Amino acid sequence: MHFVDAKGILTGGKGRFGMNIYRGCSHGCIYCDSRSKCYQFTHAFEDIEVKQNAPELLEQALKSKRQKAMIGTGSMSDPYMHCEEQLGLTRKCLEIICKYGFGAAIQTKSDRILRDIDLLEEINKRAKCVVQMTLTTWDEKLCGILEPSVCNTQRRVEVLEEMRKRGIPTVVWLSPILPFINDTPENIRAILEACAQVQVKGIICFGMGLTLREGDREYYYAALDRHFPGLKERYIRTYGNAYEVPSPKSRELMHLFRTFCRDHGIMSTPEECFGYMSELPDRFEQMTLF
């Protein structure tokens, strides 16, 4: 872990901003796209870069904005990694978001988010808060291989249930689904049934498969060699150096996914889900004018 003073903290605009307090990750997921060389990391991925002045930058940015908006975090680096326990920068930023009446859309795999559930509830009352959880693998042992340094899927579902009890809306990322590993109807169905049970608003799924780029591919293949001997060779035969790596069962699994979501009233297209997470209710925007 090392500390830097960032020049800015918010990206985007037009009703929704993005924010990443950390760069790198300590969760160790074998498929992580953020390891790809295109993101131009100048330090080891596990050597977390901490934007130590993030709260100050965020306050400067928000107090000057007249129009409220949603602020998303977690797309590149999980805001609830291990270092957040001691640093608390995510919580400090959420306090500022709450103070200025903005909304928040938070993506994580970690149950550490429960530490801030009181704050998330307050943001949701004042504006809007959406908690996003990534779920990929129902089998507990397999989850420990694919996502070794973060809580398992069942625990993440418990987090979603706690959010439901507080009236905080949730969205699930069903991604990635790894060919020949977790791309089974049994796995997908178990995750979908859990989503229905905790009443998620939507599920984001770009397709049953994963993407591999330079940097990410090498790390993933090394993990396959450790945990699934011979599978790397099968990937190379099947996909070569392709960026998109779809499951051979993609059509069957997407049919299962779409049918389940339709039958249970769950948003199932990325457009629906992103639209929902970007929208700040009119009543809150109007309240800020008075």
The predicted-structure confidence for 46-60, as pLDDT tens digits, reads as follows 999 999 999 999 999
The predicted-structure confidence for 208-258, as pLDDT tens digits, reads as follows 999 999 999 999 999 999 999 999 999 999 999 999 999 999 999 999 999
Q: Is the pLDDT of residue 287 over 50?
A: no
The predicted-structure confidence for 169-198, as pLDDT tens digits, reads as follows 999 999 999 999 999 999 999 999 999 999
Mean pLDDT of 133-156: 98
pLDDT at 284: 45
Q: Is the pLDDT of residue 285 over 50?
A: no
pLDDT at 290: 35
pLDDT at 66: 86
Number of domains in the chain: 1
pLDDT at 281: 84
Task: Look up the CATH number of the domain holding residue 88.
Answer: 3.20.20.70
Q: Is the pLDDT of residue 134 over 90?
A: yes
Containing structural domain, residue 11: 2-287
| E strand or H helix at 23 | strand 22-23
State the pTM of this model: 0.94
The predicted-structure confidence for 89-131, as pLDDT tens digits, reads as follows 999 999 999 999 999 999 999 999 999 999 999 999 999 999 9
The predicted-structure confidence for 10-38, as pLDDT tens digits, reads as follows 998 777 899 999 999 999 999 999 999 99
3-state secondary structure the chain: CEEECCCCCEEEECCEEEECCEECCCCCCCCCHHHCHHHCCCCCCCCCEEECCHHHHHHHHHCCCCCCCEEEECCCCCCCCCCHHHHCHHHHHHHHHHHCCCEEEEEECCHHHHHHHHHHHHHHHHCCEEEEEECCCCCHHHHHHHCCCCCCHHHHHHHHHHHHHCCCCEEEECCCCCCCCCCCHHHHHHHHHHHHHCCCCEEECCCCEEECCCCHHHHHHHHHHHHCCCHHHHHHHHHCCCCEEECCCHHHHHHHHHHHHHHHCCECCHHHHHHHHHCCCHHHHHHCCC
